[in-house]
Amino acid sequence: MTDEPRPFSILLIDDHPAVRQGLALLLTQAGHRVCGEAGNHAETHAFLAGGQSDIAILDLHLGPEAGFPLIGELSRHGIPVLVYSMFEDMPSIREVFDCGAMGYVCKREVAGELTRAVEQVLQGRRHLSPVAAASFSAAGGDVPAVRGHDLSERERQILDLLGQGHGNHEIAERLSLSVRTVESYCTRAIDKLGLNGMKALRHYAATTFRRGIHIAP
């Protein structure tokens, strides 16, 4: 008997409870699980103190607070960030990616665009919604790069094995490397991905490979 993969868990961060309720319904219907909700920085910090999520959907406007600082905090905990915002200007979108977010969806997109973005980000791929991409095209700007897509082939191999649950010693044996070399590659990957240590790296790898999905360049 084959075990079915568990649904991915999603943290919703938006200062409007009705928006979070609507997103929760949409994402649940798409087969995901909402594992937490937050409406401001304090509630997000409280979740991070004891919870873990496969992805966070973040609004940039949280009442009197901006969502930008949370992008780095979530990323350092190994939680990829998908921004879902009313802002459509190129400077805001560029700043989001500069902070380390993996995706951006404008709130006036159709509902299916958000679920597509969630799947893309969970596969380790960048996602820029059509409206957001159009703002770059109209302004003559280049589509922003996403941190972490400069992983070497060896670093990707090690992430493959980490995601399958192997320890550093097993990885060293499989790749004919020393344990110290494997640890060195892990350190580089942590730095490139902007993660907060080995636990966050293992979570990132396990999230990416839970359904047999490989990290995309």
Query: Are residue 132 and residue 166 in the same domain, yes or no?
Result: no
Reduced to 3 states (helix: H, G, I; strand: E, B; else coil), residue 34 is strand
Tokens of 118: 């969630």
Query: Are residue 69 and residue 107 in the same domain, yes or no?
Result: yes
Residue 34 lies in a domain: yes
Tens digits of residue pLDDT in 57-113: 999 999 999 999 999 999 888 899 999 999 999 889 989 988 989 899 999 999 899
Please name the residues in contact with 207: beta carbons below 8 A apart, sequence gap of 6 or more.
Answer: 8, 54, 55, 78, 80, 122, 163
Say if residue 145's pLDDT is above 60.
Answer: no
Say if residue 140's pLDDT is above 70.
Answer: no
Contact 213, 160 (CB under 8 A): no
Residue 146 lies in a domain: no
Say if residue 13's pLDDT is above 70.
Answer: yes
Query: What average pLDDT does range 23-48 have in this prediction?
Result: 95
Domain count, the chain: 2
Domain residue limits at 85: 9-139
The pLDDT of residue 214: 46
DSSP notation for 36-97: EEESSHHHHHHHHHH---SEEEE-SEETTEESHHHHHHHHHTT--EEEEES---HHHHHHHH
Residue 215: pLDDT band with limits 50, 70, 90: very low
